[in-house]
Amino acid sequence: MNNLSGEEKFVNHWLYPANTKFYDVIGAFSNDETYWPRNSNVQAGDTLFIYLAVPYKQIAFKCEVIRADLTGDKILKEVSTYFKQEPKDPDPLKAFLKVKTLSRYELDPKGSLTLSYLKDHGLKGMLMGPRKLENAPDLMRYIMDQTGGL
């Protein structure tokens, strides 16, 4: 992919965990576009796979990053309806992404995007933070195969 300056830009793919205990992730991603905390070196154009934690324990959404330069003070009002409880001391300078939902996957405890299948295909340890899939080629290949590729 070329950017406006004509330089080659490589798209990275990320596996991002989402805690459904504190945030209505499913509600937020029912919109075509939403905001998500930026916890890694994600860039506009990158792809995120959103992994829902307990009770789902599976990938539920595929998104494209539209913007990676937002802060909490700009977007917290827009996402406040999805908080299940008021955040303690929200950081107005916390980095956020604007993402476009590309795909929604069926929530199926026996589906191919569940934690057990991800672990069988290269996910190491618990998914406590973002993972750059290019650093786990077997896992990336598996997710791409299960989600229809790029």
For each of the domains in the chain, give its residue range(s) and CATH number, in order of start. Answer: 13-145 (2.30.130.30)
pLDDT at 2 exceeding the cut of 80: no
**Three-state DSSP class for 125?**
coil
- Model pTM score: 0.90
Contact 36, 100 (CB under 8 A): no
- Per the DSSP assignment, residues forming a β-bridge with 98 are 35, 67
pLDDT digits (tens, 9 = 90+) for 65-92: 999 999 988 898 888 888 887 777 778 8
With the CA atoms of 77, 90, 84 and 79 taken in that order, what torsion angle do they form, in degrees rounded to the nearest 10? 20
- Per the DSSP assignment, residues forming a β-bridge with 71 are 95
Q: Please, where are the H alpha helices in 33-136?
A: 72-79, 115-120
Q: Beta strand pairing status for 95-104 and 58-71?
A: antiparallel
Rounded CA-CA distance 52/150 in Å is 20
Element (H, E) at 149: none
**pLDDT (0 to 100) of residue 92:** 85
**pLDDT (0 to 100) of residue 150:** 57
Query: For the stretch 20-58, what's the b/e string if a residue is b when 16 or more beta carbons lie within 10 angstroms of its beta carbon?
Result: eeebebbebbeeeebbbbbebebbeebbbbbbbbeebbb
Residue 1 pLDDT grade (very low, low, confident, very high; cuts 50, 70, 90): very low
